[in-house]
Copies of this chain bind each other. A is one copy, B any other.
Amino acid sequence: MPEVRLLPDDIRIEAVPGSTISEAANKAGIGIAHPCGGRGTCGRCTVFVEGTPVLACNTPASQSSVYIPEAVRLAGQAILTDIRMYDSKSNRQPRAERVTVTLDPPTLLDPASDAERLCDALSMRYGAGVRIEASCLPDLPGSLRADGYRISPVIVHEDDGVSVLSFQRGPLYGVAADIGTTTIVVALCDLETGYVLDTVAVPNPQAEYGADIITRIVYTEETPSGARTLQDSILTALSECIVTLSERAGIGPERIPIMTVAGNTVMCHFLLGIPADYLRREPYVPAARIYPAARASELGLPLLPCGRVMILPSVASYIGGDITAGAIALDLAAKDGINIFADVGTNGEMVLSGPGFMTACSCSVGPAFEGSGISCGSRAVRGAIDNVYCREDRLIYDTIGEQEEEPKSVCGSGLISLLSALLQKGVIDRSGRFTTPENYFTLAPDVTITQADVSNLIRAKAAVYAGMSVLVKQLDMSLSDIDRVYVAGGFGRGINIEYAVNIGMLPPLPDDRFRYAGNTALAGALRVLCDRTVDAGETAASITNIELSIGNEFMEEFTKACFLPHTELSFF
């Protein structure tokens, strides 16, 4: 396979023969915008192969260096729009499409109505029940006769048949959304080519009512129509994102007959205005795990009014549609060997897959890796230390932004590397206790890590490791049996696997068994949009949730993992 070198990132990637530069770049997590849907007509995806300008969408990836200017990259924060796990080639059978049928003209002896005539023809083709939306019936008689009983309806394939949505002409687009607790990412996709035209990422405005989901649930419990307020908040943000994407692409809402949404269970509840009170109380039951397909008009979203909004089903209260989407994006059910897919935030969600099974669990990691509850912690902002390593006897660090700046804090990846370095240097022992008399360590004038910080970090990393341990032990396996670990999300990209293994957060497996997977929620939502052979309900139903609060197994594994790297050193 040709190895493509992507510049200025200096990423080397093996391209599938016959794939385009766009596709190769996407696999490396560099999304390229395609305003024309990858048809090679707009010239906006111009990149440089050995200095020569070419269109990324229709130039085969070959053994060469490709310079990808910032201007052609998908908008939004790069990590959030990293849809490397979405392959536009999966766009064989988009969920909504325009089909052309030619009907026999009616006669006095065969006076079936226009609608029956169309339904019969579509039923013959799809072998399924066909409905016509009431709202598009007014356009049927004229459309049918405009071209001699040849008609090209826009249809959507649903679980229980086919629905005719419109008789509008022109290309069709789909919208996929990843509704995260912190950030919303929305992608506009050409349903015919499968190319992502554009993306947009905005903060989730629900943050106004609480930074984390528990605070937001409490808000809805304490505030009259609180769930409605949170629904309005997210719908307004989604609408703005869709309008932005539509305006930039120059298309009207009538061209967008479908949207898919992936989010955690609480976000999906709030999207429909459903209170999520009982998710946070034993036995942790969601109001709904499967969400009825809604019409865009019901939610007030600026799509085709009768267009469908499909919310990917959850597995359980704490294994949401974002994880279902991840399993779909990674094609976990079909993958060879034993795989773990981990999405780590304040919750750690993990899916273990192998021949014929998928199990999942969710554990509370806490906000330590997001910098909360750590005296020197912060998010990955300018002036935060994001990497620490030992050089000879000293600890060296990298700071986000200008190196001359004095560091102010340490972000998640920095904290993991700091913990690893402190252990390596002997400043802390395997139990995390400082071996020095002062019980803290000053990395830079304003950056000090305390005993409490170290303990918090150890608990956080132990939760991740213990979750994985329980999953494999439930199936009488060991972590060494794992062939591949897929790390998803913004957190996964920043961390250095070596350090995460050093502190016993990730299992000690060879480097090549780890894969960074990007935004798997968005990639999965895109896949569902563009490939109707994917049955998200079936995927969710085939994942068995392991409830960690039942029994002592998790607590035992957690306790054992509260050492650096672990109490059982034989594996490390």
Residue ranges of A at the interface with B (Cβ–Cβ < 8 Å): 106-116, 129, 131-135, 137-138, 140-142, 145, 160, 227-228, 272-275, 277-278, 282-292, 294, 297-298, 314, 316-317, 545, 547, 549-550
- With a cutoff of 8 Å between Cβ atoms, the chain B residues found around residue A274 in the complex are 137-138, 140-141
- With a cutoff of 8 Å between Cβ atoms, the chain B residues found around residue A134 in the complex are 272, 291-292, 294, 298
- With a cutoff of 8 Å between Cβ atoms, the chain B residues found around residue A227 in the complex are 138
The 6 closest A-B pairs by CB, nearest first: A115-B288, A113-B289, A106-B285, A113-B286, A108-B283, A141-B287
> What's the least CB distance linking A200 to chain B, in Å?
25
> Cα distance A379–B260 when bound, in Å?
58
- With a cutoff of 8 Å between Cβ atoms, the chain B residues found around residue A284 in the complex are 108, 111
A140 to B287, Cβ gap below 8 A? yes
B289 to A116, Cβ gap below 8 A? yes
- With a cutoff of 8 Å between Cβ atoms, the chain B residues found around residue A114 in the complex are 278, 285-288
- With a cutoff of 8 Å between Cβ atoms, the chain B residues found around residue A286 in the complex are 113-114
> CB-nearest residue of chain B relative to A289?
B113
> Cα distance A289–B115 when bound, in Å?
7
> CB-nearest residue of chain B relative to A547?
B108
> Cα distance A275–B292 when bound, in Å?
32
- Contacts known (A287-B114, A287-B115, A288-B114); A108 close to B549, Cβ less than 8 A: yes
> CB-nearest residue of chain B relative to A132?
B292
> Cα distance A129–B549 when bound, in Å?
33
B116 to A273, Cβ gap below 8 A? no
> CB-nearest residue of chain B relative to A227?
B138
A interface SS class: loop
- Contacts known (A129-B160, A160-B160); A285 close to B112, Cβ less than 8 A: yes
> Cα distance A112–B290 when bound, in Å?
11
> What's the least CB distance linking A355 to chain B, in Å?
26
> CB-nearest residue of chain B relative to A231?
B138
- With a cutoff of 8 Å between Cβ atoms, the chain B residues found around residue A135 in the complex are 298
The 29 listed contacts between A and B (C-beta, < 8 Å) are A106-B283, A108-B282, A110-B283, A111-B285, A111-B316, A111-B317, A111-B547, A113-B287, A113-B289, A114-B287, A114-B288, A115-B288, A115-B289, A116-B290, A129-B160, A131-B292, A132-B292, A134-B272, A134-B298, A137-B272, A137-B288, A137-B291, A138-B273, A138-B274, A140-B287, A140-B288, A141-B278, A141-B287, A142-B275
> What's the least CB distance linking A308 to chain B, in Å?
12
> Cα distance A111–B283 when bound, in Å?
6
> What's the least CB distance linking A270 to chain B, in Å?
10
Identify A228's interface contact among B113, B138, B141, B314, CB under 8 A: B138
> Cα distance A290–B112 when bound, in Å?
11
> What's the least CB distance linking A248 to chain B, in Å?
29
> What's the least CB distance linking A263 to chain B, in Å?
15
- With a cutoff of 8 Å between Cβ atoms, the chain B residues found around residue A131 in the complex are 292
- With a cutoff of 8 Å between Cβ atoms, the chain B residues found around residue A141 in the complex are 274-275, 277-278, 287
> CB-nearest residue of chain B relative to A114?
B287
> What's the least CB distance linking A137 to chain B, in Å?
5
> What's the least CB distance linking A169 to chain B, in Å?
19
- With a cutoff of 8 Å between Cβ atoms, the chain B residues found around residue A108 in the complex are 282-284, 547, 549-550
Most B-side CB within 10 Å, residue of A110, A137, A285, A317: A285
A107 to B294, Cβ gap below 8 A? no
- With a cutoff of 8 Å between Cβ atoms, the chain B residues found around residue A133 in the complex are 292
> Cα distance A160–B129 when bound, in Å?
10
- With a cutoff of 8 Å between Cβ atoms, the chain B residues found around residue A106 in the complex are 283, 285
A113 to B547, Cβ gap below 8 A? no
> CB-nearest residue of chain B relative to A109?
B550
- With a cutoff of 8 Å between Cβ atoms, the chain B residues found around residue A282 in the complex are 108
> Cα distance A274–B288 when bound, in Å?
37
- With a cutoff of 8 Å between Cβ atoms, the chain B residues found around residue A115 in the complex are 287-290
> What's the least CB distance linking A443 to chain B, in Å?
43
> What's the least CB distance linking A456 to chain B, in Å?
28
> Cα distance A317–B138 when bound, in Å?
16
